[in-house]
């Protein structure tokens, strides 16, 4: 039920909300049935990256890698064992999907991120691992304003007394809207669990991992802006407001709807 006691009238995905922030016209055209996308400098690494990280998490959940008796291995040897296992998963995925481009870069990103996450789970019992992994790659649905919102989160992790909402990304896409996406997920998860979660985004680029955390203050500032945007989206659909073209014309270079939008 919506906050006012009525069933939500609109259904949006988290991606649609992000799109509406990038460009209201883009959101509206797509919502009206136009086929298009934002094409960034992607060579498929982002998709590959998510598939492998998903495999790593599955591997952690039904431990093959983590059943290896590594308790007394020195750290450097531990890194080697994990890296070899990650590489095996990487090769499996690459063969399965027939990726051809830039695999050296992809491996570098996956090795960096994979090692970082895998090491959080080593030297832990199966019970401890299960307690840590709350959700991985999970669809969530929640109500905001008068809308039903759907999205997919990468990882929800219990680390001590803290619940971390983790999103991992390569820097190949437009990252300016990440705070919107993670704020929506935080809202949805907190509604679902009734507990506070800490949003963190991990960016990996050229083998370097960078963690970006968003403070509660930033989130509280962002929330009313997102809610207003959702109201705008509803108004565009109902014809109560006219969608406008993005003021950031730089993104139009990546937009395949350019022709029909006649920018």
Residues at the contact surface with ligand SF4, assessed by CB under 6 A: 23, 25-26, 29, 245-246, 251-252, 255, 257-258, 261, 263
- Residue located via tokens 């481009």: 101
Question: Which residue's CB is nearer to ligand SF4, number 239 or number 250?
Answer: 250
Q: Beta strand pairing status for 10-13 and 162-170? A: unpaired
User: What is the closest distance, in whole angstroms, from the C-beta atom of residue 38 to ligand SF4 in the complex?
Assistant: 7
Question: Which residue's CB is nearer to ligand SF4, number 38 or number 121?
Answer: 38
User: What is the closest distance, in whole angstroms, from the C-beta atom of residue 41 to ligand SF4 in the complex?
Assistant: 16
User: What is the closest distance, in whole angstroms, from the C-beta atom of residue 225 to ligand SF4 in the complex?
Assistant: 19
Half-sphere exposure in the Cβ direction for 228 (13 Å, CA): 6
Question: Which residue's CB is nearer to ligand SF4, number 62 or number 262?
Answer: 262
User: What is the closest distance, in whole angstroms, from the C-beta atom of residue 14 to ligand SF4 in the complex?
Assistant: 18
Question: Which residue's CB is nearer to ligand SF4, number 84 or number 244?
Answer: 244
Decide: 116 and 83 in contact? Cβ < 8 Å. Answer: no
User: What is the closest distance, in whole angstroms, from the C-beta atom of residue 245 to ligand SF4 in the complex?
Assistant: 4
Question: Which residue's CB is nearer to ligand SF4, number 40 or number 87?
Answer: 40
Q: Beta strand pairing status for 147-159 and 10-13? A: parallel
């Amino acid at each position: 039920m919506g906050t006012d006691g009525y069933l939500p009238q609109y259904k949006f995905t988290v991606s649609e909300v992000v799109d509406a922030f990038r460009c209201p016209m883009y959101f509206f055209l797509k919502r009206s049935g136009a086929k298009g996308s934002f094409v960034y400098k992607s060579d498929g690494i982002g998709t590959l990256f998510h598939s492998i990280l998903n495999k790593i998490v599955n591997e952690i959940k039904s431990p093959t890698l983590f059943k290896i008796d590594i308790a007394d291995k020195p750290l450097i040897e531990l890194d080697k064992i994990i890296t070899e296992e990650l590489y095996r998963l990487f090769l499996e995925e690459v063969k399965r999907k027939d990726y051809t481009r830039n695999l050296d870069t992809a491996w570098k990103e996956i090795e960096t991120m994979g090692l970082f996450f895998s090491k959080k789970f080593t030297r832990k019992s199966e019970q401890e691992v299960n307690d840590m992994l709350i959700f991985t790659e999970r669809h969530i649905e929640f109500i905001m304003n008068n809308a039903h919102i759907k999205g997919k989160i990468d990882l929800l992790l219990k680390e001590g007394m803290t619940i971390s909402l983790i999103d991992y990304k390569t820097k190949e896409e437009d990252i300016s809207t990440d705070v919107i996406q993670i704020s929506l997920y935080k809202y949805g998860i907190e509604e679902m669990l009734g507990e506070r979660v800490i949003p963190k985004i991990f960016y990996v680029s050229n083998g370097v991992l960078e963690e970006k955390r968003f403070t509660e203050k930033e989130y509280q500032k962002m929330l009313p802006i997102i809610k207003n945007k959702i109201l705008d989206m509803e108004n565009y659909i109902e014809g109560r407001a006219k969608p406008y073209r993005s003021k950031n014309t730089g993104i139009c270079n990546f937009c395949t709807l350019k022709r029909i939008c006649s920018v």
